[in-house]
Amino acid sequence: MIAHLQAQLDVLRLGVRQRGLRRRELVALARLGRTTLTDGGSREGRLAALAVEAAGARGRLTALDEERRVALAQTRADLAAVPRWMAPVVLVRGASARAVLRQRRGLIEKGMHELHLTAGRLAMATATSPAAREVQAIRSELAGAASEGQRRLAGLDARPLPAWVDRAREEGKQFGGAVWTQLRSQLTPKVPALAGMAMGWWITSTYTDSHARSILRSVGIGHGGTHVVSGSTYQAMHFGLPLLAAALCAYVGDRVVRYYRSRES
Protein backbone atom coordinates (compact mmCIF):
# COMPACT_ATOMS: atom_id res chain seq x y z
CA MET A 1 0.00 0.00 0.00
CA ILE A 2 2.79 2.42 0.91
CA ALA A 3 4.62 1.61 -2.33
CA HIS A 4 1.41 2.21 -4.27
CA LEU A 5 0.92 5.61 -2.63
CA GLN A 6 4.55 6.50 -3.27
CA ALA A 7 4.11 5.63 -6.94
CA GLN A 8 1.01 7.83 -7.11
CA LEU A 9 2.93 10.74 -5.57
CA ASP A 10 5.72 10.19 -8.10
CA VAL A 11 3.21 10.37 -10.95
CA LEU A 12 1.77 13.61 -9.58
CA ARG A 13 5.24 15.04 -9.10
CA LEU A 14 6.15 14.15 -12.66
CA GLY A 15 2.97 15.80 -13.91
CA VAL A 16 3.84 19.02 -12.07
CA ARG A 17 7.37 18.86 -13.48
CA GLN A 18 6.05 18.39 -17.03
CA ARG A 19 3.75 21.41 -16.70
CA GLY A 20 6.67 23.49 -15.49
CA LEU A 21 8.84 22.28 -18.37
CA ARG A 22 6.11 23.13 -20.90
CA ARG A 23 5.90 26.67 -19.50
CA ARG A 24 9.69 26.99 -19.71
CA GLU A 25 9.59 25.70 -23.29
CA LEU A 26 7.05 28.35 -24.29
CA VAL A 27 9.10 31.08 -22.64
CA ALA A 28 12.27 29.89 -24.39
CA LEU A 29 10.47 29.62 -27.75
CA ALA A 30 9.08 33.15 -27.39
CA ARG A 31 12.56 34.42 -26.52
CA LEU A 32 14.02 32.69 -29.58
CA GLY A 33 11.25 34.08 -31.78
CA ARG A 34 11.71 37.61 -30.46
CA THR A 35 15.45 37.42 -31.09
CA THR A 36 14.86 36.04 -34.59
CA LEU A 37 12.44 38.82 -35.51
CA THR A 38 14.55 41.68 -34.12
CA ASP A 39 18.16 40.68 -34.80
CA GLY A 40 18.20 42.46 -38.17
CA GLY A 41 19.37 39.41 -40.11
CA SER A 42 18.00 38.20 -43.42
CA ARG A 43 14.70 36.34 -43.31
CA GLU A 44 12.65 34.57 -45.91
CA GLY A 45 9.08 33.41 -46.36
CA ARG A 46 6.94 33.21 -43.28
CA LEU A 47 9.62 34.65 -40.97
CA ALA A 48 9.85 37.80 -43.10
CA ALA A 49 6.08 38.30 -42.87
CA LEU A 50 6.16 37.75 -39.10
CA ALA A 51 8.95 40.31 -38.76
CA VAL A 52 6.79 42.90 -40.53
CA GLU A 53 3.83 42.11 -38.23
CA ALA A 54 6.04 42.34 -35.14
CA ALA A 55 7.43 45.70 -36.24
CA GLY A 56 3.89 47.02 -36.71
CA ALA A 57 2.90 45.77 -33.25
CA ARG A 58 5.92 47.48 -31.67
CA GLY A 59 4.92 50.69 -33.41
CA ARG A 60 1.40 50.43 -31.98
CA LEU A 61 2.83 49.89 -28.49
CA THR A 62 4.95 53.01 -28.86
CA ALA A 63 1.88 54.98 -29.93
CA LEU A 64 -0.06 53.68 -26.91
CA ASP A 65 2.74 54.75 -24.59
CA GLU A 66 2.51 58.25 -26.06
CA GLU A 67 -1.29 58.24 -25.65
CA ARG A 68 -0.89 57.24 -22.01
CA ARG A 69 1.63 60.02 -21.43
CA VAL A 70 -0.72 62.58 -23.00
CA ALA A 71 -3.71 61.29 -20.99
CA LEU A 72 -1.74 61.51 -17.73
CA ALA A 73 -0.59 65.05 -18.55
CA GLN A 74 -4.19 66.03 -19.38
CA THR A 75 -5.43 64.64 -16.06
CA ARG A 76 -2.81 66.60 -14.14
CA ALA A 77 -3.64 69.78 -16.05
CA ASP A 78 -7.37 69.35 -15.39
CA LEU A 79 -6.76 68.70 -11.68
CA ALA A 80 -4.96 72.02 -11.46
CA ALA A 81 -7.75 73.86 -13.31
CA VAL A 82 -11.06 72.48 -11.97
CA PRO A 83 -12.64 73.14 -8.55
CA ARG A 84 -11.64 70.76 -5.81
CA TRP A 85 -15.01 69.07 -5.66
CA MET A 86 -14.58 68.04 -9.32
CA ALA A 87 -11.26 66.28 -8.61
CA PRO A 88 -12.85 62.80 -8.15
CA VAL A 89 -14.59 63.13 -11.54
CA VAL A 90 -11.31 64.04 -13.22
CA LEU A 91 -9.50 61.18 -11.48
CA VAL A 92 -12.17 58.67 -12.48
CA ARG A 93 -12.08 59.87 -16.09
CA GLY A 94 -8.28 59.63 -16.20
CA ALA A 95 -8.26 56.19 -14.61
CA SER A 96 -10.88 54.96 -17.09
CA ALA A 97 -8.91 56.28 -20.07
CA ARG A 98 -5.72 54.62 -18.85
CA ALA A 99 -7.60 51.37 -18.21
CA VAL A 100 -8.75 51.34 -21.84
CA LEU A 101 -5.16 51.92 -22.97
CA ARG A 102 -3.94 49.09 -20.74
CA GLN A 103 -6.56 46.78 -22.24
CA ARG A 104 -5.46 47.66 -25.76
CA ARG A 105 -1.83 47.21 -24.81
CA GLY A 106 -2.57 43.80 -23.32
CA LEU A 107 -4.23 42.64 -26.55
CA ILE A 108 -1.26 43.81 -28.62
CA GLU A 109 1.24 42.15 -26.27
CA LYS A 110 -0.75 38.91 -26.40
CA GLY A 111 -0.66 39.02 -30.21
CA MET A 112 3.09 39.70 -30.15
CA HIS A 113 3.61 36.73 -27.84
CA GLU A 114 1.83 34.49 -30.35
CA LEU A 115 4.00 35.95 -33.14
CA HIS A 116 7.14 35.21 -31.15
CA LEU A 117 6.01 31.65 -30.45
CA THR A 118 5.31 31.03 -34.13
CA ALA A 119 8.64 32.54 -35.13
CA GLY A 120 10.44 30.49 -32.49
CA ARG A 121 8.92 27.23 -33.73
CA LEU A 122 9.89 28.10 -37.30
CA ALA A 123 13.41 29.11 -36.28
CA MET A 124 13.98 25.82 -34.43
CA ALA A 125 14.41 24.10 -37.81
CA THR A 126 17.65 25.96 -38.55
CA ALA A 127 18.67 27.95 -35.47
CA THR A 128 21.85 27.09 -33.57
CA SER A 129 21.82 29.99 -31.10
CA PRO A 130 21.98 29.57 -27.30
CA ALA A 131 18.20 30.19 -27.17
CA ALA A 132 17.61 27.30 -29.61
CA ARG A 133 19.88 25.01 -27.60
CA GLU A 134 17.93 25.95 -24.46
CA VAL A 135 14.68 24.89 -26.14
CA GLN A 136 16.27 21.60 -27.22
CA ALA A 137 17.49 20.93 -23.67
CA ILE A 138 14.04 21.61 -22.23
CA ARG A 139 12.42 19.31 -24.78
CA SER A 140 14.87 16.56 -23.87
CA GLU A 141 13.94 16.96 -20.20
CA LEU A 142 10.26 16.96 -21.12
CA ALA A 143 10.63 13.77 -23.15
CA GLY A 144 12.44 12.10 -20.26
CA ALA A 145 9.76 13.15 -17.77
CA ALA A 146 6.98 11.96 -20.10
CA SER A 147 8.71 8.59 -20.54
CA GLU A 148 9.12 8.20 -16.79
CA GLY A 149 5.48 9.15 -16.25
CA GLN A 150 4.32 6.51 -18.73
CA ARG A 151 6.43 3.92 -16.98
CA ARG A 152 4.94 4.80 -13.61
CA LEU A 153 1.42 4.76 -15.02
CA ALA A 154 1.99 1.34 -16.51
CA GLY A 155 2.97 0.10 -13.06
CA LEU A 156 -0.28 1.43 -11.66
CA ASP A 157 -2.48 -0.05 -14.42
CA ALA A 158 -2.75 3.46 -15.94
CA ARG A 159 -4.58 4.72 -12.83
CA PRO A 160 -2.48 7.30 -10.97
CA LEU A 161 -5.16 7.70 -8.27
CA PRO A 162 -7.81 5.39 -6.80
CA ALA A 163 -11.35 5.76 -8.07
CA TRP A 164 -12.55 7.28 -4.78
CA VAL A 165 -10.09 10.15 -5.18
CA ASP A 166 -11.62 11.06 -8.53
CA ARG A 167 -15.09 10.97 -7.00
CA ALA A 168 -13.97 13.07 -4.02
CA ARG A 169 -12.32 15.59 -6.32
CA GLU A 170 -15.45 15.89 -8.43
CA GLU A 171 -17.62 16.35 -5.35
CA GLY A 172 -15.15 18.94 -4.02
CA LYS A 173 -15.38 20.89 -7.26
CA GLN A 174 -19.18 20.81 -7.09
CA PHE A 175 -19.14 21.97 -3.46
CA GLY A 176 -16.64 24.73 -4.23
CA GLY A 177 -18.79 25.90 -7.14
CA ALA A 178 -21.85 26.04 -4.90
CA VAL A 179 -19.97 28.03 -2.25
CA TRP A 180 -18.65 30.46 -4.88
CA THR A 181 -22.13 30.94 -6.35
CA GLN A 182 -23.54 31.84 -2.94
CA LEU A 183 -20.67 34.18 -2.12
CA ARG A 184 -20.94 35.92 -5.47
CA SER A 185 -24.70 36.38 -5.16
CA GLN A 186 -24.31 37.77 -1.63
CA LEU A 187 -21.29 40.01 -2.11
CA THR A 188 -21.24 41.16 -5.73
CA PRO A 189 -24.45 43.23 -5.64
CA LYS A 190 -23.31 44.91 -2.42
CA VAL A 191 -19.89 46.08 -3.59
CA PRO A 192 -21.18 48.95 -5.80
CA ALA A 193 -23.46 50.05 -2.96
CA LEU A 194 -20.50 50.05 -0.56
CA ALA A 195 -18.52 52.12 -3.05
CA GLY A 196 -21.35 54.65 -3.25
CA MET A 197 -21.58 54.79 0.57
CA ALA A 198 -17.82 55.33 0.80
CA MET A 199 -18.03 58.20 -1.71
CA GLY A 200 -20.93 59.72 0.23
CA TRP A 201 -18.92 59.52 3.47
CA TRP A 202 -15.95 61.20 1.78
CA ILE A 203 -18.14 64.04 0.51
CA THR A 204 -19.74 64.56 3.94
CA SER A 205 -16.38 64.49 5.73
CA THR A 206 -14.79 66.92 3.26
CA TYR A 207 -17.46 69.43 2.17
CA THR A 208 -20.31 71.42 3.69
CA ASP A 209 -22.77 74.04 2.45
CA SER A 210 -22.78 75.99 5.71
CA HIS A 211 -20.20 78.67 6.56
CA ALA A 212 -21.09 78.41 10.25
CA ARG A 213 -20.50 74.65 10.36
CA SER A 214 -17.26 75.10 8.44
CA ILE A 215 -15.94 77.58 11.01
CA LEU A 216 -16.99 75.38 13.96
CA ARG A 217 -15.47 72.25 12.46
CA SER A 218 -12.24 74.12 11.64
CA VAL A 219 -11.72 74.75 15.37
CA GLY A 220 -12.61 71.17 16.30
CA ILE A 221 -16.28 71.54 17.19
CA GLY A 222 -18.43 68.89 15.56
CA HIS A 223 -17.63 66.44 12.80
CA GLY A 224 -17.77 66.78 9.04
CA GLY A 225 -16.27 68.70 6.16
CA THR A 226 -14.79 72.16 6.29
CA HIS A 227 -14.71 73.08 2.59
CA VAL A 228 -17.72 75.25 1.79
CA VAL A 229 -19.59 74.86 -1.51
CA SER A 230 -22.98 76.16 -2.60
CA GLY A 231 -26.08 74.29 -1.58
CA SER A 232 -26.90 73.20 -5.13
CA THR A 233 -23.34 71.98 -5.68
CA TYR A 234 -23.42 70.09 -2.38
CA GLN A 235 -26.67 68.36 -3.33
CA ALA A 236 -25.34 67.55 -6.81
CA MET A 237 -22.22 66.03 -5.30
CA HIS A 238 -24.30 63.90 -2.93
CA PHE A 239 -26.39 62.59 -5.81
CA GLY A 240 -23.91 62.36 -8.68
CA LEU A 241 -20.58 61.26 -7.22
CA PRO A 242 -21.86 58.25 -5.21
CA LEU A 243 -23.83 57.15 -8.28
CA LEU A 244 -20.69 57.50 -10.41
CA ALA A 245 -18.61 55.54 -7.88
CA ALA A 246 -21.19 52.73 -7.72
CA ALA A 247 -21.44 52.57 -11.53
CA LEU A 248 -17.65 52.50 -11.92
CA CYS A 249 -17.35 49.74 -9.31
CA ALA A 250 -20.04 47.68 -11.06
CA TYR A 251 -18.34 48.23 -14.43
CA VAL A 252 -14.92 47.17 -13.13
CA GLY A 253 -16.38 44.12 -11.43
CA ASP A 254 -18.17 43.07 -14.60
CA ARG A 255 -14.98 43.50 -16.65
CA VAL A 256 -12.97 41.42 -14.17
CA VAL A 257 -15.54 38.60 -14.23
CA ARG A 258 -15.63 38.60 -18.04
CA TYR A 259 -11.84 38.57 -18.19
CA TYR A 260 -11.51 35.51 -15.97
CA ARG A 261 -14.33 33.74 -17.79
CA SER A 262 -12.57 34.36 -21.11
CA ARG A 263 -9.34 32.98 -19.65
CA GLU A 264 -11.13 29.84 -18.49
CA SER A 265 -12.92 29.25 -21.81
Per the model's pLDDT, the better-predicted residue between 184 and 104 turns out to be 104
228 forms bridges with which residues in the sheet?
Answer: 208
**How many domains in the chain?**
2
Shared domain for 40 and 123, answered yes or no, is yes
Residue 64 has pLDDT above 90, yes or no: yes
CA atoms within 13 A on the CB side of 212: 0
Report yes or no on 239 lying in a domain.
yes
pLDDT at 1: 46
Report yes or no on 205 lying in a domain.
yes
Average the pLDDT over 222-248 and give the result.
79
Q: Which H or E run includes 32?
A: helix 2-38
Shared domain for 66 and 179, answered yes or no, is no
pLDDT at 69: 92
How many CB atoms neighbour CB 183 within 10 A? 10
Displacement of CA 181 from its chain's centroid (Å): 22
Shared domain for 191 and 106, answered yes or no, is no
Residue 66 has pLDDT above 80, yes or no: yes
Shared domain for 193 and 151, answered yes or no, is no
Residue 212 has pLDDT above 70, yes or no: yes
Give 6-27 pLDDT, tens digit per residue: 666 777 788 888 888 888 888 8
101, 123, 158 - which closes a domain: 158
Shared domain for 73 and 125, answered yes or no, is yes
Give 144-175 pLDDT, tens digit per residue: 888 887 777 676 654 555 666 667 778 888 88
Residue 59 has pLDDT above 90, yes or no: yes
Shared domain for 31 and 130, answered yes or no, is yes
Report yes or no on 13 lying in a domain.
yes
Residue 86 binned pLDDT confidence (cut-offs 50, 70, 90): confident
Q: Hey, CA dihedral for 76, 82, 88, 93, is it positive or negative?
A: negative
Domain extent for 255 = 174-265
Rg (CA), the chain: 29
128, 158, 188 - which closes a domain: 158
Shared domain for 71 and 102, answered yes or no, is yes
Contacts of 119 (CB under 8 A, 6+ apart): 32, 33, 34, 36, 37, 47, 50, 51, 54
Report yes or no on 84 lying in a domain.
yes
Does the pTM of the predicted model rise above 0.85?
no
Give 198-211 pLDDT, tens digit per residue: 888 888 888 887 77
Average predicted confidence (pLDDT) for the chain = 80
Contacts of 127 (CB under 8 A, 6+ apart): 32, 36
Shared domain for 124 and 191, answered yes or no, is no
162, 164, 166, 171 alpha-carbon torsion, rounded to 10°:
-170
Residue 42 has pLDDT above 60, yes or no: no
Shared domain for 257 and 140, answered yes or no, is no
Shared domain for 109 and 240, answered yes or no, is no
99, 130, 158 - which closes a domain: 158
**Cα–Cα distance, 27 to 203 (Å, whole number):** 49
Residue 2 has pLDDT above 50, yes or no: yes
Report yes or no on 163 lying in a domain.
no
Report yes or no on 165 lying in a domain.
no
pLDDT at 185: 65
Shared domain for 4 and 117, answered yes or no, is yes
Residue 63 has pLDDT above 80, yes or no: yes
Report yes or no on 216 lying in a domain.
yes
Report yes or no on 167 lying in a domain.
no
Shared domain for 189 and 151, answered yes or no, is no
Residue 264 has pLDDT above 50, yes or no: yes
